[in-house]
Every structure is written in C-alpha cells, then in structure tokens.
Structure 1
Amino acid sequence: MSHKVLHICLSSGWGGLEMYPSRIIPELARQGWQAHGLALAGSRVAESFREAGIEPLTLASKGRALLAAGRVLAYLGAQGVDVIHCHKSSDLRLGALLVTLRPSLRLFFTDHMGVTRPKKDLYHRWAYGKVTRLFAISEATRQRNLAAFPLPAERIRRLYLGIDPAPYVPRLDDPARAALRRALGVPEGAVAIGLPGRLTPGKGQEVWIEALARLAEASPGLAWHGVLIGGLTAEEGSDEAHVAALRRRIGELGLEARIAFTGFRRDLPRLFEALEIVCVPSRNEAFGLKVIEAMAAGKAVVGSDSGAIPELLDVETGRLAPPEDAAAWAAALAELADDAELRQRLGQAARHRVEKDFTLAAHVASLTREYENPKGAEGE
C-alpha cells in the first residue's frame, strides 16, 4: 500500500464537513500518510487544502465531475494513490465511478451530516456498494445509517471526530484575559456565557436568547454577559436573515447591552478563556465539535439533550437541556453561573474526557487502520 489518500470534497460551502479534510491533513502526515485533495476551483475547500500544505486537483464545476473521471484516474495513477475518501454524498457518484473503472481503488465515505431518509434505490445500491467503509461520526448517526443505507452493519463504523487539545489549554495571563473580556464587552465581574458556531437556523441561538431573558428576570442580581461567536455574513457561513432576526429579538427583549456579537473569529481557543460557560443548543448535532472544543478548554458546557451531544456530555462533565425548552436552559445557566466551584469541577472533568476519548491523533490512527486493512476491519 502506498499510504496515500485522495480526499474529495466538491463543495462550495464552508462548515464542519468542508473543514474536516484540511483539519486532519497535518495529523495524517505525522502518522505517515500523504494526503491529496480534489475540490472545486476557487472554493474555500481548495483554499483550505493549500493552507494545509497541499496543492489540490481542482474541477471547474460539480456538475461536470463525472466527465473528469479520466483526468482524476490519470492523476491517481501518476501519484500512486489507491485510497479515496469522500465527504459529501453527492461526491460518491464520482468516487463510485472511479472504483468501477479501477477496482483496485478503495473508497471510504464519512457521513458528516446524519442521513435523514432511506437511500436504497438502484442508484444508491450501486454507489454505496462500492464503499469499503462508511464512517458514522456518532452512535446517533450510526443508528440512522444502519436503517438508511444499503450496506451490511459490518461496513458501517462509528468513528468519533477528534481535536488536538493543545491549542485549547489556557495561555493568557490575567491582564491579557481581562483585556480580551473588555474587548468583548464583558463587564468586570460578570459571568460570560458564550455560544460559538455558525449563525444559522437549527443551531439554537433563539432558545439561548430566550433563556438569557428568563435568567435576567429570575435572577436580577446576577451579573452576566452573553457572547455570540460566529460570522455575520453569508461569506462567513452564516444566514444573514437569521442574524437579523436574532438582533430583532434581542432588541425586543431589551438585551442589546447584555449580548454581544463577535463576528467571525479565528481565535476561538483564546475566546474560550474569556468565558465561564459555553452553550451548544443545536437541535440535532451529528457530532458536536464545538462541544468537545469547549470541553478541551476546560469550560463548563451546557448542550442540547438531543442528537449526538448526550454521547459527549454527562452530569460529570457538563449539563444537558432540551433544545426547545428555554426554561430548562435558564435553570442550567443559573446553576452554573452561581457556582464557580461547580464550573471548575465540570471543566476539569470535561478536559480529561476529551484527552481520553476525542483526540485528533486517536481519530486519525483509527482512520488509517481502516485505510490500511484491505478487507476492512470489523467491529468498533
């Protein structure tokens, strides 16, 4: 085996799915694998490959991808690549065609989104039939995968995502942390309650805002400040109409002075240092990357009791609340905001859980074992 892999992501968007290949490329290199990339010309994905140190093969459009099969096969042959890894279901058309034309190739697919409807028609049976291994990023998505995909159970494996915990270790001294809090508009002595992620429907910002309003009403003497972390424009991955709706609701509730929008930030590990509590109120996370990032930073985390988040958080490492229940969210925030010792205890346990179960090194080691096994390893 050549220990070379081509990651295919023909997406013009920018989110966790699109970020994944470039996130793992450095760790693949550390573990002896050479990564190659296939992306749309001019896309953020293509740019991310370059930022990770590789020059991707590019296609002009997704619609003409199948016509480029010969060019891609020639590239694979010239580079000695015999493993392909797809990240969007639509890209499997090209991946399956490549395997059909060159059966020695091994095809892997990660379901980053969590399938929502059965895919067992003739086309999907052909396409998924070419997949060596399908990776589900949580047990919640794996159960849906088992019901939806035309694959035997042994070819669908749960493979949790991972992060490098090192960047999330606190490094700011007290003056630097105080300066960052001031820049975010957090008053001295206030409990900073953050919500990181794309500002799009489904991410739960609405229930978080309602919960903060209830917190203000129920605990008028409690000093807190809300921090919404995420891009404000479509170019930054957010829904501009949704952002406008959030601003309107904050205004209606009279919380303009108590909730700040940071805009897109590249320094999330440092922003976590300015917060006491991190919230992830998404309705149906397929995994919950922001959850484990906040856990690695040693933060007290409140997450939605839905999707895959309960696989990451428990009563020893954080708190869970129903994604549509603002009163439950307000109660969880009140408990944590009023107890610094509890926040510290949960944060320490959360950091240890990430170091034990959710590191990028462990994720890539499991991934490369699958790449290397010609028959496909069985079990979890």
Structure 2
Amino acid sequence: MSEKHPLRDILVIAPNFKRRLSGVTSTIVQLVPEQAKSLGILAAGPGLPAHLPKLRLRDVPKLWQRPANKPFRIWHARRNVEMLPGIVLRDVLRMPLRLVFTSASQRRHTAYTRWLIGRMDAVIATSTRGGAYLDVPHTVVTHGIDLGRFHPSADRAASRQALDLDPNMRAVGCFGRVRHQKGTDLFVDAMIALLPRHPGWQALIAGRATAEHAGFERELRGRITAAGLEDRIRFVGEHRDIERWYRALDLFVAPQRWEGFGLTPLEAMASGVPAVAADVGVFPDVVTAETGTLVPRGDLDALKAAIEPYLGDDDRRAAMATAAAQKARQDFPLAREAAEINAVYARLWARG
C-alpha cells in the first residue's frame, strides 16, 4: 500500500482476476476511480492499468484489520473466480469482509454459480432481465458510462485521420470480442453486401479473437478478401483507448447473438454515434427509435435492412447522433451507477 491509500481507509476491494480485456474489466476500470471520489476503494488483480489504485498481494494479510470507520470491508466480485476467494477470505480465514456480487448474465446460472451467489451478502443485477434469472434478493443497477472519456468528436474527419484512417470516408464500426456469440460474422456479411453500394463508407472491427476463435477470424478475413473489400473492411485490433475509435465513427453496429449487459452501444451513444443493435442484453432499454434501431438477434437480412438507411441519410444520422449523446448523458452517467452501487454498500454497513 502507498501512503496515498493507507489500508485503514480502504472500505471496498474490487477484484479483477482475468488478465484479458473484457467488459467486466472495462467496468472496473471506469467505476473504481468514480467510486473513489466518495469512499476508499482499491482494485485487485492482473491486467489493470497503472493509474488504478490497487491492493498489493503482500497487503492481503492486512485485511484481517478492520477499517477505521466501518465494521468490515466489502469484497465486490463480478465473476465466479472472484466470488470464491471472497468466500475463503470471509469464511475460512475469518477476515472482516462482506461479499457483493454483480451479475450481468441473462440466462440461468450453473449450479456452481448459484451456490456461490447464495453465499453473497448482497447481489446486484445489471438489468431487470438479468435479475429475473436470480433466485436471491437483488438490486438492479444498470451500467453507466464515463462521459469524460466517451464524448462526441468535434471533427470526425480529424478523428479518423489521427488513427491513420481515410478521413474522407465515413466509418461504421463493430467493437468487441471477435467471435460467433458477438455476431462479428453478421457484421462482416452485412458490410460485404452493403459497402459496394455505398462507396463513401469504410467498416472497422475493433477487438481481439482469442486462440479458440482465431479460425473464426481467419474465415471472416477470407470472406472479405474474396469480396475484394480488404481495404474497406478492416480489423484494427484491440485498443485500451477505444474511445478514440468511437469518435471516428458515424454509425455503430452491435450484432450480438447473446449479451449479458453490453456496454458498446452505450459507449457509442455517449460518443454521439447512433447504433443498430440486436435485441439482446439491455440494448432494448438503451437503443430507442430516436437513438438507433433494434433488430432481431441473428437475423442478417434485418441487420442489413436496418443499417442501409443510415449510410445514405446524413440528416437522419446527425439528428440521431445528437439524441444518442443526450440520452447517454441523461440516463447513463457513470456517477449515477457509482452512487447506486455505493448505496448497496451503505445498506450492508447499516445492517452491521
């Protein structure tokens, strides 16, 4: 621990025990600094940016000491691999901890996960839909967006040029893991069908394919090459400064076949970008007729039909971009999410 974050003042530990970048990791990276504005909180685990305040491994034994002004600390887990250590710390090592779990899943959990959840002191669901799959009392807290990080571009052409993209071509993007579940193939097939009819557009796919999905990505690249569109449909890789790539877009597409919550349409909207999204996760609560278009999951024809009007209507895109940014600011600020999570902690401390 540094003198800046003495452990006696730390009330919450937010573990992140998955090294690869994911939606959960992104949530922690955004939330911890926001929550730290009003309470002592540390992240814990690998793969986190240097600016986040972190619990060092050698300081874990100090968790036996109670914090200065509360009867216990809170261990806020978001994955099975983080719930189990919390149970061990609380129940086996008898550390003064209470356990909170955030569930983003919109399907019934496995028996093992249900067992873990049943041992939590408080449970948060990221959506009403997700909460319906929980067998325990819970609080719904929808995600928010860091509006200081995700905001509209003052000049999209300049944003594209800064990324070595063609500044004179409008851009449509699909960001997230490259895999079948995320519908990357649907986006690629839609672009192969639409871009020849809209020569002023380019398509960007940001994200990585893990080893088990590398063949899936190779197949998609092959389709693009066969269509002669390798210069206009580009895989740009994984980026921790993904906000810069959102600001280069004119349209965002979220074609997921399944999603627990899904931050990408929110990040796009906060960046002043309308979204075409599948009817999964919380996308129906986020994407409205004023900010984008919803399509049935897995329906390529519906996806193409929803995307194409945006490619030829500058006025419609501009109006929806303004509405999207406004909705993100009003309904999904990160400060609101942090305050609602902190209220869950406060109720635990009040119960003692």
Determine whether 1:360 maps to 2:347: no
**Equivalences for 1:246-257 in 2 at 5 Å?**
246-257=220-231
Indicate yes or no: 2:26 matched with 1:37: no
Amino acid at match of 1:356: Q
Quick check: 1:202–1:284 contact (8 Å CA) kept in 2?
A: yes
- Inter-partner Cα distance in structure 1 for 2:183 and 2:350: 38
How far the C-alpha of 1:222 sits from its partner, in A, is 4.9
What amino acid is aligned across from residue 324 of structure 1 in structure 2? Answer: G
User: In the superposition, relative to structure 1, how do residues 104 and 264 fare at CA in structure 2: closer, same or farther (>3 Å)?
Assistant: closer
Instruction: State the partner residue of 1:24.
Output: 31
Cα distance in structure 2, aligned partners of 1:20 and 1:272: 17
Q: TM-score, normalised by structure 2?
A: 0.86
- Does the 8 Å contact 1:283/1:307 carry over to 2? no
TM-superposed CA distance for 1:256, in Å, is: 1.6
**Alpha carbons of 1:171 and 1:124: their partners in 2 closer, same or farther (altered >3 Å)?**
closer
Unaligned runs of 5+ in 2: 1-7
| 2:47 is aligned with 1:51 | no
Deviation at 1:129, TM superposition (A): 3.4
Aligned 8 A contact 1:232 1:264 in 2: no
Name the residue aligned to 1:64.
none
Is 2:46 aligned against 1:4? Answer: no
> What's the % identity of the aligned pairs?
26
- Offset at 1:104? 5.2
Structure in which a larger fraction of residues adopt helix: 1
- Give, in whole Å, the separation in 1 of the partners of 2:198 and 2:27: 43
Residue in 2 that maps onto 1:112: 104
Structure 2 CA distance for partners of 1:124 and 1:336, relative to 1, 3 Å? closer
2:177 is matched by which residue type in structure 1? R
Aligned counterpart, 1:62: none
The answer to which of 88-97 and 363-372 deviates more is 88-97
Give, in angstroms, the shift of residue 336 of structure 1. 0.9
Aligned to 1:137: 126
One-letter identity of the residue aligned with 1:21: I
Deviation at 1:324, TM superposition (A): 1.6
1:130, 1:288 → 2: CA distance?
26
Structure 2 residue identity aligned to 1:108: V
CA distance in 2, matches of 1:109, 1:320: 30
Paired with 1:124 and 1:327, the residues of 2 have a C-alpha distance of 38
- The answer to whether structure 1 residue 226 and structure 2 residue 232 are counterparts is no
Answering whether residue 179 of structure 2 is matched by residue 200 of structure 1, we say yes
Measured against aligned partners, the alpha-carbon deviations of 1:78-115 in whole angstroms (never above 9, x if no partner) come to: 36252111121233222223333548532100123445
In structure 1, the residue corresponding to 2:124 is in which secondary structure? strand
**Alignment match, 1:61:** none
Contact 1:37 1:56 survives alignment (8 Å): no
Aligned partner letter, 2:56: P
- For residue 65 of structure 2, the aligned residue among 78, 97, 114 is 78
- Cα distance per residue 1:299-326 (max 9 Å; x no partner): 1111112232112111111111223222
Aligned mates of 1:376, 1:129 — CA distance in 2: 21
Q: Tell me the distance in 1 between the aligned counterparts of 2:210 and 2:87.
A: 35
Please list, as runs of the form range in 1=range in 2, the aligned pairs for 1:162-241 lying within 5 A after superposition. 162-173=144-155, 176-177=158-159, 179-180=161-162, 183-185=164-166, 188=168, 190-216=169-195, 220=197, 222-231=199-208, 239-241=213-215
Matched residue of 2:149: which SS?
helix
Quote the residue 2:310 is aligned against: 336
Give 3-state SS (helix, strand or coil) of 1:94's partner: helix
Distance verdict in 2 for CA 1:7–1:167, change over 3 Å: closer
Q: Residue 41 of structure 2 aligns to a residue in which SS?
A: strand
Structure 1 runs not aligned, ≥5 long: 59-70
Give the 3-state SS of the residue equivalent to 1:144 in structure 2.
Answer: coil
C-alpha distance in 1 between matches for 2:27 and 2:156: 33
Residue 82 of structure 2 is aligned to residue 91 of structure 1: yes
Q: TM-score, normalised by structure 1?
A: 0.80
Distance (whole Å) between structure 2 residues aligned to residue 174 and residue 144 of structure 1: 41
User: What SS does the corresponding residue of 2:348 show, helix, strand or coil?
Assistant: coil
Is 1:268 the counterpart of 2:242? The answer is yes
Partner Cα distance (2:235, 2:33) in 1? 32
Tell me if the contact between 1:313 and 1:320 (Cα under 8 Å) persists in the aligned partners: yes
Output the CA distance in 1 between the equivalents of 2:27 and 2:155: 31
Following the alignment from structure 1 to structure 2, what is the Cα–Cα distance between the partners of residues 376 and 134? Answer: 16
